[in-house]
Each structure stands twice: as C-alpha cells, then as structure tokens.
C-alpha cells in the first residue's frame, strides 16, 4: 500500500500502452470507474461500462483503441493498449504488491516429527504439521491450517487461514488455497454389501500442480487408489466439488459451485461455469466450455461449447431456450389444428361412410363435430 505516486508515463511503459494526455501526471492509485477520484487511474475493459466513462472523476483511464474516442470528461488522460484488463492487473500489482517478509515458525504452531522445513517460511499460530511433511521455501501457512503426515507443500505456496491438507497430498509451487478449503478428504465410495454401505478405504491421494489456485470452501477428494489431479495453472473458484480420481488438465477454469463426479477427466483449458455438474467416468476434451448450471452426462469432444441439463450444443440450447416459453402456446395451437384438421376431414369425406379407426381418435376432437 506504500507504493509512492507514479508518473503516468511509467505506468504506460509498465503495461506497454500509449499515453494520450500529460505523461507527467502523478498517479496515486487505481480504482473502479465509478469510485476513482482525483489522482487515480481507472480502466475500461467490459464494454458494458463504456457509458460510465463520461462521469468518472478519475485522472486517467486505461482503455482499448476501439474505446479511445468514447465520451469522457475533458482532461481525462488515456493510456491506450490492446488488453486493458491485463493493464489493470499490472497496475494493481504495481500499487499493491508488497515484498515477501517471512515471519518464521510461530511458537504456537504444532510441528510433527521429521518435518522438512524450507527456508524463509511463515508458519502462523495454531498451524499443525504432521510427521514427515515437507514444507518448501517461502511457504506461508496461515493460522489454523492443517498439513497431514507426509504431505508436501511446494515452494512459495500460500495457504490462507483454516485450510486442511490431508496426509500425503502433494502441492506444487506457488499454489494458493483459500480459507475453509479441504484437499484430500475421503472420496465418496461404498460397496453395498450385506444390506449396508461398506466404506471403501480411500487410500489414494491428491496432486495439485504448480500455479493452481483454489477458492474458499472447496472440497477436493483423495483418490480411492491412485490420485486426484489438478493440472498446472488451473484456477478453481469457491465451493467447488472435485470428487475422487478426477483429473483436471492445465489452465482450466472451474467456476463457483460447480461439481465434478468421480473418475472424470477434464482436458486442458476447459471452462466450467458456475453450478455446472459433470457425471462420473466421462472425458471432457481440451477447450470445452460449459454454460452455467448445465449438466454434462457424456463424453465431450475437444472444443465444444455446451449448455443445458443435460447439456447440448450451446447454439442449439439457445434456440431451445428461446422457444421454451412458447411451449404452452404450441400445445394450444396443436390442439386447434387437430380440431380444424378433423373438421376438414369430415367435410371432405361427408359423403363417405369410412369411419376412423379408434386409434386415430387421439388426435381428433373428443366430441365429433356436426358439419
């Protein structure tokens, strides 16, 4: 929070942007378009907010070339760049990153036997580390974290307060886990035998690769045998369920409250939107994107966009959703057509004595109509 005011020119260089306005303007911080004030820089990324630019009280804005001419207060400096969202990201880091300062091992932590402790760690009060666990360099374990026996926490990983990492789980480097999250709870496996659900011991583990981030109150179950895997650079939002023996590829995005059932495999770059469910034992290809609240119940080839429950092609789902509210009207129209068609049949065949067979009745009006 102590980064000094910075000339606009320096921020523009940092993010690879072009200044339109006074490059010597001193910027004190970054804020959203509605909240930014004098001396602050803001950003315009989502076109939804372009109309708000004219009312901003910021001194500068980061925006894309296509928005360069958007109406704005006189004197608002601009930094033009292709990806203002990333520009915003870099400027936040500039103003908010603080140097890492390890605090050492708290005397209020409980450290097991034969723990391998890296250099420059921060082990906070009421942390428990089980026997033979391995803690990497510059790892931070905040208050109330539990690290099970023989678990491995990679270098520079950061566990927020009250995270549980069970025995033998392995985290890569720079893994971030938010509070309340549990990695390595038992998979949900029972064999129904003798009239009871017999617990299948869940003796596998979980592997979280480098640069993964898990939100708060996430559950990642350990494998029955083998391992549950979350691939490098994948980001998982809050309250997500990842069942036993699931494999998620690299750089995937799993949004809040989604759930992935046991033994399912997701490819690289998969996106599951919020509250999506995926059944067990299926394979979702690279780059598949699934819309919010959808349910995936089958294998999905790479690159598809799906929505709905059960999920179908996203475009097809859009057409279905647009039609669905008309369904009661469709039923009424169908009924009227049946009546009119039957009347027409009667009219044409009036001289005829050919009676409809009983099986045809269903589509005809209940009461025969007099012509």
Query: Which one of residues 9, 226, 305, 314 is an interface residue with its own copies (CB under 8 A)?
Result: 226
Q: Which residues pair with 14 in a beta bridge?
A: none
Pick from 13, 8, 52, 46: nearest CA to 27: 8
Please give the residues from 5 up to 44 whose contact with its own copies meets the rule CB under 8 A: 30-32, 35
**Is 217 one of the binding residues for its own copies (CB under 8 A)?**
yes
**Is 328 one of the binding residues for its own copies (CB under 8 A)?**
yes
Q: Which residues are catalytic?
A: 244
Please give the residues from 135 up to 164 whose contact with its own copies meets the rule CB under 8 A: 142-144, 146, 148, 160-162, 164
d(CA 316, CA 194): 46
Looking at the Cβ atoms of 23 and 343, the one nearer to its own copies is 343
**What torsion, rounded to 10 degrees, do the Cα atoms 93, 250, 259, 311 define?**
110
**To the nearest whole angstrom, how small is the minimum distance from the Cβ of residue 69 to its own copies?**
23
Stretch that binds its own copies, among 20-28, 60-68, 114-122, 320-328 (CB under 8 A): 320-328
Stretch that binds its own copies, among 4-12, 64-72, 114-122, 224-232 (CB under 8 A): 224-232
**To the nearest whole angstrom, how small is the minimum distance from the Cβ of residue 254 to its own copies?**
10
Looking at the Cβ atoms of 117 and 253, the one nearer to its own copies is 253
Print the binding letters for residues 243-282 with its own copies: x by CB under 8 A, - otherwise.
x-x-----x-x-xxx-x-x------------xx-x-x-x-
For residue 214, report the phi and psi dihedrals to the nearest 5 degrees: -115, 130
Record the tokens describing residue 266, joined without a space.
């997701």
Burial of 359 (0-12, 13-18, 19+ CB in 10 A): exposed
Record the tokens describing residue 177, joined without a space.
């886990």
d(CA 286, CA 269): 6
**To the nearest whole angstrom, how small is the minimum distance from the Cβ of residue 91 to its own copies?**
10
Print the binding letters for residues 73-92 with its own copies: x by CB under 8 A, - otherwise.
----------x-xx-xx--x
Q: Which residues contact 45 (CB under 8 A, 6 or more apart)?
A: 63, 64, 84, 85, 88
Q: Which residues contact 121 (CB under 8 A, 6 or more apart)?
A: 102, 104, 105, 135, 137, 138, 139, 140, 141
Record the tokens describing residue 146, joined without a space.
């539990």
Please give the residues from 294 up to 313 whose contact with its own copies meets the rule CB under 8 A: 295, 297, 308-310, 312
Query: Which one of residues 108, 114, 301, 361 is an interface residue with its own copies (CB under 8 A)?
Result: 108
**Is 371 one of the binding residues for its own copies (CB under 8 A)?**
yes
**Is 315 one of the binding residues for its own copies (CB under 8 A)?**
no
**What torsion, rounded to 10 degrees, do the Cα atoms 315, 317, 323, 325 define?**
-140
Burial of 156 (0-12, 13-18, 19+ CB in 10 A): buried
Looking at the Cβ atoms of 20 and 143, the one nearer to its own copies is 143
Looking at the Cβ atoms of 119 and 190, the one nearer to its own copies is 190
Count of residues touching its own copies (by CB under 8 A): 125
**Is 116 one of the binding residues for its own copies (CB under 8 A)?**
no
Looking at the Cβ atoms of 10 and 316, the one nearer to its own copies is 316
Query: Which one of residues 18, 197, 298, 361 is an interface residue with its own copies (CB under 8 A)?
Result: 197
Query: Which one of residues 125, 131, 301, 303 is an interface residue with its own copies (CB under 8 A)?
Result: 125
d(CA 44, CA 10): 19
Pick from 37, 17, 41, 38: nearest CA to 29: 41
**Is 50 one of the binding residues for its own copies (CB under 8 A)?**
no
Q: In what order do the strands lie in the sheet with 271-272?
A: 104-105, 122-123, 140-141, 158-159, 176-177, 213-214, 235-236, 253-254, 271-272, 289-290, 305-307, 312-313
Stretch that binds its own copies, among 57-65, 70-78, 114-122, 290-298 (CB under 8 A): 290-298
**Is 323 one of the binding residues for its own copies (CB under 8 A)?**
yes
Pick from 302, 266, 301: nearest CA to 281: 266
């Amino acid at each position: 929070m102590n980064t000094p005011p910075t000339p606009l020119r320096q921020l523009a260089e940092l993010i690879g942007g072009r200044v339109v306005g006074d490059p010597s303007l001193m910027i004190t911080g970054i804020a959203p378009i509605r909240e930014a004030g004098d001396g602050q820089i803001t950003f315009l990324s989502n076109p939804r907010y372009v109309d708000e630019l004219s009312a901003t009280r910021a001194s500068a804005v980061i925006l894309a070339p296509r928005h360069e001419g958007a109406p704005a207060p006189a004197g608002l400096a601009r930094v033009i760049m292709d990806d203002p969202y990333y520009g915003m990201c870099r400027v936040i880091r500039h103003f908010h990153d603080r140097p890492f300062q390890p605090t050492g091992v708290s005397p209020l932590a409980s450290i097991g036997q034969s723990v391998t402790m890296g250099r420059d760690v921060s082990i906070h009060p009421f942390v428990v580390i089980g026997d033979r666990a391995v803690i990497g360099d510059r790892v931070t374990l905040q208050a109330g974290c539990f690290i099970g026996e023989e678990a491995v926490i990679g270098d520079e990983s950061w566990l927020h307060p009250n995270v549980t990492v069970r025995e033998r789980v392995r985290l890569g480097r720079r893994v971030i886990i938010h509070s309340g999250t549990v990695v390595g709870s038992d998979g949900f496996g029972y064999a129904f035998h003798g009239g009871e659900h017999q617990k299948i011991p869940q003796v596998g583990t979980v592997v979280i690769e480098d640069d993964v981030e898990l939100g708060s109150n996430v559950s990642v179950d350990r494998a029955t045998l083998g391992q549950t895997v979350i691939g490098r650079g994948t980001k998982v939002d809050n309250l997500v369920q990842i069942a036993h023996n699931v494999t998620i590829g690299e750089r995937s995005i799993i949004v809040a409250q989604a759930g992935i059932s046991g033994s399912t495999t997701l490819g690289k770059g998969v996106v599951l939107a919020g509250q999506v469910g995926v059944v067990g034992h299926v394979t979702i290809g690279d780059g598949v994107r699934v819309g919010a609240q959808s349910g995936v119940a089958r294998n999905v080839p790479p690159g598809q966009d799906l929505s709905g429950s059960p999920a179908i092609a996203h475009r097809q789902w859009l057409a279905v959703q647009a039609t669905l509210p008309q369904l009661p009207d469709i039923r009424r129209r169908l009924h009227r057509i049946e009546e009119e068609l039957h009347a027409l049949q009667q009219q044409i065949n009036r001289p005829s004595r050919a009676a409809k067979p009983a099986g045809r009745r269903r589509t005809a009006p209940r009461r025969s109509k007099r012509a």
